[in-house]
Amino acid sequence: MEPLVDTSNTIGIKYTMPVGAEVIDAIEGDLHLGVDLEGGKEYIGIGSDKNDPTLPGEVCYWDDKGAVSRCWNWRDTIRTTVQSNTRASTLSIENLDPARAKELEQAFHEFCDLAERYLDANIVSRDIATKDHPVIPLGR
């Protein structure tokens, strides 16, 4: 695995929250999180070479080309997978429990600190999306 993926997995395990990373340069247009009402978004998962389109009503991340991650951020597409040559990525940490909002912030800041310290990352944007703040620019 890549060090960025190792770091995100460490945070996910420590805080018991799903964590995902995607390559920004591979995202076409805007990145969305929501319910795919119609289904049918192109999706080729890691380890596959076949299209497995999203289902109607499925929660996923998507861009102009298709699904980026299914089952929230759990099943990534090969198209946006972090590689050894990745230079810019997104990070999503998911939490649906308002009582754990502070833990989400801690997890996010801890990931950023680890990435800066050990991966020499330059964090361009530090922002948390909420229902009241649903849009975050990708910083490209």
Say if pTM beats, i.e. exceeds, 0.85.
yes
Q: How far apart are CA 71 and CA 54, in angstroms?
A: 10
The percentage of the chain sitting over the pLDDT mark of 90, rounded to a whole number, equals 85
Q: How confident is the model at residue 134 (pLDDT cuts 50, 70, 90)?
A: confident
pLDDT given at position 117: 97
Alpha-helical runs (H) found in the chain: 3-15, 101-119
Q: How far apart are CA 7 and CA 32, in angstroms?
A: 24
* Residue pointed to by tokens 């340069």: 25
Q: How far apart are CA 102 and CA 5, in angstroms?
A: 23
CA-to-CA dists, residue 125 to 43, 53, 56, 84, 89, angstroms: 27, 31, 32, 21, 11
